[in-house]
Amino acid sequence: VPEGHSIHRLKRQFDSVFGGRRLSVSSPQGRFTAGAARLDGQIFTGSLAHGKQLFLRFDNELYLRVHLGLYGAWDFGGDETFRGASSIGAPRRIGEREIRDDGGTSPKAAGLASAGGYAGPPDPVGAVRARLVSDHGWADLRGPTACEVITGSELAAVIGRLGPDPLRPESDPAEFVRRVRTKGSPIGQLLMNQEIIAGVGNIYRAETLFRQGIDPWLPGKSLGEQKVLAMWADVVSLMEDGVRDGRIVTTAPRDRGNPAGPASAADAHYVYNRAGLGCRWCEAPVALAQMAARKLYWCPGCQN
């Protein structure tokens, strides 16, 4: 499942390439035909990301709610003006695996038509649940867990059920503290609960707990307020880096095999997916267990 930083990158991408544009909305696969008809021909006025959900707002006061789940992804393409949030590093696919359109990539290889050659979106490939098309480009959604049209009051109800999102400036850290400190479940489990904090997935969960030296098995209510606030601040900082970079890197350069340059995949994390390998700080083997049916990684030496 993409973690929250990917959804905030999607928000940025949609606002950048489709903001203020009138969109054709369809469902080539046919499973979203009625919903698409309610949005077709409306102007897209901006998006909202909260946790792992994205909401696209249209000028008839309706929202397209999308949760990518395990297998969902968006693909983008269009003419030379359809470049996304930045001309370098604009993602053309965001979902379970992000493909980046970096500087050296040729427009053709990046799925963008060459100058003057844009003739509309390609024929849909595979099961395209929703297709959005402007004068300059298109976005295809495949494999989402949720894709539905909702009203403003339904939007408020969905967000009301979620915990605060570390990537939204209006989120209140005290609300996170309150939700954690009233629960007897292990903190490792609470961080994955979208009603406690929205947007954190398995990687940010494991890495934040390591960086803060917190034993994932401690009950939420046993943690002091300052400790929980520090954890929130660390999640905010790590996830903001993720939005900027389009990948999750939690290690400090001094803790990597090669401190120079960008982190390699093998150097990007402290404990996530490193079971049995030596801890970068204390050399104890990184532990792995199941917690609420998800893999949990931690260092018993540093987190106690």
User: Active-site residue numbers?
Assistant: 2-3, 52, 294
Residue 285, interface with Zn ion (CB under 5 A)?
no
Q: Rounded distance, CA 13 to CA 249, Å? A: 21
Residue type, 263: A
* Residue 148: CB atoms within 10 Å: 13
Region near Zn ion per CB under 5 A, out of 42-50, 162-170, 183-191, 296-304: 296-304
Distance CA 11, CA 66 (A): 11
Q: Which of 88, 282, 289, 292 binds Zn ion (CB under 5 A)?
A: 282
Name which of 210, 174, 159 is nearest 52 in CA terms.
159
Q: Candidates 56-64, 220-228, 233-241, 282-290: pick the segment binding Zn ion (CB under 5 A).
A: 282-290
Closest CA to 203 of 282, 300, 274: 274
Contact 73, 132 (CB under 8 A): no
Our CB check for Zn ion shows the closer of 90 and 299 to be 299
The helix or strand, by DSSP H or E, that contains position 229, with its residue range, turns out to be helix 225-245
Which of positions 261-280 make contact with Zn ion (CB under 5 A)?
A: 279
DSSP structure string for 252-267:
-GGGSSS-SSSPPGGG
| DSSP-derived secondary structure letter, 279 | P
Q: Count residues near Zn ion (CB under 5 A).
A: 6
Q: Is 71 in the site for Zn ion (CB under 5 A)?
A: no
| Nearest approach, Cβ of residue 303 and Zn ion (Å) | 7
CB of 277 to Zn ion, least distance (A): 11
Least Å distance, CB 274 to Zn ion, is 11
Residue nearer to Zn ion on the CB measure, 156 or 282: 282
Residue 173 or 301: the one with the smaller Cβ distance to Zn ion is 301
Backbone angles phi, psi at 27, to 5 degrees: -130, 85
Q: Which is nearer to Zn ion, 282 or 292 (CB)?
A: 282
User: Can residue 299 be called a binding residue for Zn ion (CB under 5 A)?
Assistant: yes
Can you tell me the distance from the alpha carbon of 195 to that of 208, in angstroms, rounded to the nearest whole number? 18
CB of 239 to Zn ion, least distance (A): 23
Contacts to Zn ion by CB under 5 A: 279, 281-282, 299, 301-302
